[in-house]
Amino acid sequence: MAGVNEDLWTDVGLVIRSDAYRLRAVEWLSQAVRIPTETFDDMGPVGSDNRWDVFGAFHDYLRAAFPLTHSNLELTTVNTYGIIFVWNGSNDTKKPLLLAGHQDVVPVDLATIDDWVYPPYSGYYDGQRIWGRGASDDKNGLISILASVETLLEASFEPTRTIVLAFGFDEESRGESAKKLGVELEKRHGKGAFLMIIDEGDGFEEKFGTIFAIPAVAEKGYLDVKIEVTTPGGHSSLPPEHTSIGILAGLLVELESKPHPMRLERRSPVFLTLQCFADHAEGLPASLRDSIKRASHSKEALLDLERQLAVDKTYGSLIGTTQSITMIDGGIKANALPEQAWALINHRISTESSVEETMAYDADTLRPLAQAFNLTYITFGGNTTEQRTGSSRTLRLSDAWGTALEPAPVTPIDRETSPYALLAGTIKATYNLHRDLTGDNIVVSPGILAGNTDTQSYWNLSEYIFRYNHQDSSNGDMTGLHTVNEYITVDGYMEMIQFFATLILNVDESTLP
C-alpha cells in the first residue's frame, strides 16, 4: 500500500500484530461467541417471540466492547435488532463503502453437545484457536469489522469517504432483517449509492500449488420445492398398490436420477475462475489448462470442458443447478394408510438459469410419473392443473416458503481502476503484511458463492457486491460451519481485522467516485 494513509496503515499494522492487541482481540470474539444468538426457522415476529431477546444482550455487549465506535459513529437500529452504523466522511461527493455481516448463528443440535471438543458457547481460547458457534460464521466477520473501526478511531483516523456498517440478525433463517436494512439504506442513500459492498463469503487457499483468493462476484439463486402427495386413507390391512409414501419415494428417486443439466458459459463466474487457474496455477494439469484455454474461443472445447467438470462434484455444483432432498414427512400411525406425504427439494440455481426454468424442469421431470400413478397434477400455485378423471389422488408442487430467489446480478470486474481492482490490491497487501512478504504471492480471482448472504437484500445499493472473508480456508477455520467444533485460528482472525483496516484506508484514499 502506498498513498496518503501509508504511514497510518503501517502503524495500525504494528498495533494489530502486537501481543497485547492479540489478547484484546481474542477477548472481543470470545465474549461475542458466548452469547447464543441462535435463530430458528419458526421464530415469530420480534416482540412476540422471546427467543429474540438474546440479541438485546448482544447489543449490550457490543456497546461495552467498542465504546469509541458507539460514541463516534451514528447508530440506528432497524426492527429493534438490525444495526446500521454510519462513520461520516468529510467528502460527501464520494460514494460510501458498505461493510455487512450478521449477528445470528445456526442453532446447536443438543444431541451433538458431547461431540464438541469445548462447549459450543464457551468461546474457549486454547492458545491457537477460539472455539464455539459463530467463531467462523459470522461473528468473526462482524467483530473483525468493529475491531478495525475501533482501532482506527484509537489511531485518530478521520475518514474522507463515509463508511457504513450493516448487521442483520436472521441471516441463518429468513434474512428478513436484512431486507429491512436494505430498504432503510436505500431510503437514506438512494439506489446505486455505494461504491461497493463487502459481505461474508469464501476466503483464500492453495489450489494447484498456488494461493488463490476468490471473492464471489455472484450468488446462485434459491428455491425450495415442496412435493406433496395426497391419497385416500384407510386401514393398513387393505393397502393399495402404492401408498402416498410409496408414490413419494418413487418421485424422489426419479428426481435424483435426473439432475438438472449443467451449462458452462464463458460469461459465468466459474469460467472466469477457471481462466485464472489456467493463467496462474502452477500445478494445474497440462491437459486441463489446455482445455480451459481452448474453451475461451471454441464452442466444441467449451462443451468438452463442461463434460470434464461435470464429474467433479465441487465444480459441478458451482456450475449447475443443484438439488438436495432435505426434508420428508408422512403418515401418523403404523396401522393407518398415510393420507399425505411430502418432501422438500432444496435448489441452488445456476447463474445461467432462473427460478422459472428450475420449476419447469422439476414439473416436466415428474409429469410422466404423475400420469403413471394416476395423480391429478398441480404445479406451482395452481397455474397448471392436469386433472385425472375419477382420481382423488393428487401431486402438488409448490414454492415451499415463498422465498424463491433469482441468481444475483454478476458484479463487473472488467476495469483495472475499479472496485474489484481495489479489493484485489487490499487482499494482496494484507496477505503480504501478515506474513512479512514482498512481491505478488496471492492470485485474486472472481468466483461464485453457492449459498446466499444478506447481500440478496442489497442489490439496489451497488453493482459492485463482493462476498469474501479474508480467511485461510486451508487451515480448517471453515470446516465447522453449521456443524460441531466450529472454530477460528487466532492468526486467521487477526488477519481478518488487518484486512478490514486496510480496506477502509484504501477505499478512503481511492480516487474512485
The predicted pLDDT at position 3 comes to 80
- Whether residues 378 and 419 fall in one domain: no
What is the gyration radius of the CA atoms in the chain, in angstroms?
A: 25
Q: What dihedral angle (degrees, nearest 10) is formed by the CA atoms of 202, 205, 211, 215?
A: 0
Q: Which helix (H) or strand (E) holds 72?
A: helix 67-72
Strands 221-230 and 97-102: unpaired
- Looking at residue 110, what DSSP letter applies? G
Based on the structure, what is the number of domains in the chain?
2
Secondary structure class of 100 (helix, strand, coil): strand
Q: Which of 399, 423, 458 is the last residue of a domain?
A: 399
Grid cell for residue 59 = 447489543
pLDDT at 383: 67
Give the residue numbers spanning the domain of 247: 221-399
My answer on whether 332 and 450 are in the same domain is: no
Please, are residues 311 and 332 in contact by the beta-carbon 8 Å criterion? no
Q: What is the CATH number of the domain that holds 200?
A: 3.40.630.10
Cβ atoms of 105 and 506 closer than 8 Å? no
User: Which CATH number do you get for residue 283?
Assistant: 3.30.70.360
Sorted by sequence, the CB contacts under 8 Å of residue 114 that are 6+ apart come out as none
| Boundary residue ending a domain (338, 367, 399) | 399
- Closest by alpha carbon to 259, among 313, 329, 328, 330? 313
And the C-alpha cell for 69?
A: 465506535
CA distance 308 to 271: 13
The answer on 417 and 395 residing in a single domain is no
Instruction: Give the residue from 453, 485, 482, 457 showing the smallest Cα distance to 469.
Output: 453
Q: Round to whole Å and give the CA distance between 23 and 15.
A: 12
Helices and strands (H, E) in the chain, number of each type: 14, 18
Q: What is the value of pTM for the model shown?
A: 0.94
Q: Do residues 49 and 59 touch, judged by C-beta distance below 8 A? A: no
Q: Are residues 244 and 363 in the same domain?
A: yes
Cα–Cα distance, 114 to 104 (Å, whole number): 23
Q: Specify if 405 maps to a domain.
A: no
Residue-level pLDDT at 94: 97
Q: Do 502 and 417 sit in the same domain of this protein?
A: yes
- Distance CA(444)–CA(434), nearest Å, equals 17
Model pLDDT, residue 417:
80
Q: Which three-class secondary structure state does DSSP give residue 186? A: helix
**Euclidean distance between CA atoms 342 and 145, whole angstroms:** 43
Task: Compute the distance between CA of residue 456 and CA of residue 182 in angstroms, rounded to an integer.
Answer: 9
Element holding 426 (H helix, E strand): helix 419-435
State whether 103 and 252 are in the same domain: no
Q: Is residue 1 part of a domain?
A: no
Residue 213 located in a structural domain? no
Same domain, 444 and 337: no
CA-nearest of 6, 211, 195 to 89 is: 195
Residues of the chain with pLDDT under 50: none
Determine, yes or no, domain membership for 441.
yes
Sign of torsion, CA 457 462 466 469? negative
18 and 131 together in one domain: yes
Alpha helix positions (H), 173-298: 176-189, 244-257, 269-280, 286-295
Do 483 and 432 share a domain, yes or no?
yes
Is 254 domain-assigned?
yes
Catalytic machinery residues: 104, 171
Q: Which residues pair with 468 in a beta bridge?
A: 202
